[in-house]
Each structure stands twice: as C-alpha cells, then as structure tokens.
Amino acid sequence: MSKKDKRIIIIAQCLVNPYCRVHILGQNFPLSREIMNYLMEKHVGIIQYLCPETSAMGLMRNPQGRQQYDNIFFRDHCKELLKTPMLMVKEFIKNNYRLTCFLGLENSPTCGIHWGKHKINRYQTESPNPVDKPDASDPALAGIMAEILSEELAKENIKVPFLEFPALSPADSENRKRFWEDLRKVVEPNLP
C-alpha cells in the first residue's frame, strides 16, 4: 500500500460486533475476526454505524423481514444513525482518504444488499427465511439501512460498491471466494 492510498470502509456493525445479531441466529466471531484481520492488515480504517435493529428493538428481538422494517419510523431511525458516520466519511474524503466500499451482511433485512424473495407466513407478513428456489425475475431489494445509506452517499455524489458478506455460505464456497475477490479488488485495486 502506498502512503498516498489511505483507505476507509463503511461496515455494518454486526460484522464488527456479532452480539448485535438477532440472538436466536447466533453470533459468528470467526467471521468477524476474518474480516477485521484482513482490514487491519491492509490498513483500512473502519467506519461503522450503530446497528439499527439493536438500537430500535434491543438485543432480545425476534427475527424480522424487510417488510416489517420498511416503515416511516424505522427509516427515520436509520437516517438519524447515519448522520455522524456520513460526517466522518465526508471529513475523510476531504482529507484525501478513499472510501473503498460499504460492507453489509447477507440475508439482513436492514444491512443486506440483495434481499430477494422471502417466505410469507399465515399473517401475510414476510419471514426472514429465503424461499428455497426463488424466481430469477423477483426483484433483489437492498435492506432498509443499505438503501438509505445509498441515498445519503448519492446526495454527496459519492459512488462506491456495495458488497455483502455471504455469511450463509460455507467458507470454501464459490460465494465466499467471489466475495473475497470483490473485496480485494476494491481495497487493493492495483493487484494483478
């Protein structure tokens, strides 16, 4: 890394602090260690925002789908949580740091990048469990916080890739390999 390439990343809090995840889904400290070790080794500064689910609903919340979070109150909460991280991003960019990307979490209704079709329960609300064989024509929506972050970055004319860690895929899967290739491309763009 050259001294001129000072890099930062915006990251979902649960990737840094696994205790923020919905309690019944479990925490994944090896996953966090893998990501943090890579970013620290590459001297990438980390900007994380508070977990919107934890800060709105607490640690002992039940899993929800995107549909349950897609309301005026939760969206306003997300916008509030992004105020300080966005000021930090602008300050770093002003001082010649490069924002590499946003890193979200697969299957998160708030911080995921590709929230596809999910199961509908008997109350006609969405379950956080993906459909086993989704239709390729179904729209892949971003999670609520990822969507709002994209809007906030666009207001500042900041364009960066949005990546999501494929936490549901095995460590040796093609999804994981592709994720690491994509992350390396944005963090270390001069690699062959």
Is 87 part of any domain? yes
Percentage helix, strand, coil for the chain under 3-state DSSP, each rounded to 5: 40, 20, 40
Query: Which residues does residue 47 pair with via DSSP β-bridges, in sequence order?
Result: 10
Structure confidence by residue, pLDDT tens digits, 22-62:
865 566 788 889 999 999 999 999 999 999 999 999 988 88
Across 62-98, b (16+ Cβ under 10 Å) vs e yields: ebbbbbbbbeeebbebbbebbeebbebbeebeeeebb
pLDDT of amino acid 186: 96
Looking at 8-167, list the stretches that DSSP marks H as alpha helix, in order from N- to C-terminal side. Answer: 29-41, 52-57, 66-69, 72-94, 144-155
Is 192 part of any domain? no
CA dihedral angle for residue 50, residue 54, residue 57, residue 63, rounded to 10 degrees:
130
In whole angstroms, give the CA distance from residue 83 to residue 60: 26
Average pLDDT, consecutive stretches of 10 residues, N- to C-terminus, the chain (192 residues): 82 91 71 92 96 93 89 98 98 97 92 81 75 66 94 97 89 92 94 70
pLDDT of amino acid 60: 87
pTM of the model: 0.89
**Do residues 17 and 32 touch, judged by C-beta distance below 8 A?**
yes
Which residues constitute the domain of residue 98? 6-187
Taking alpha carbons only, the member of 169, 109, 175 closest to residue 142 is 109
Is 62 part of any domain? yes
Number of domains present in the structure of the chain: 1
Is 123 part of any domain? yes
Is 1 part of any domain? no
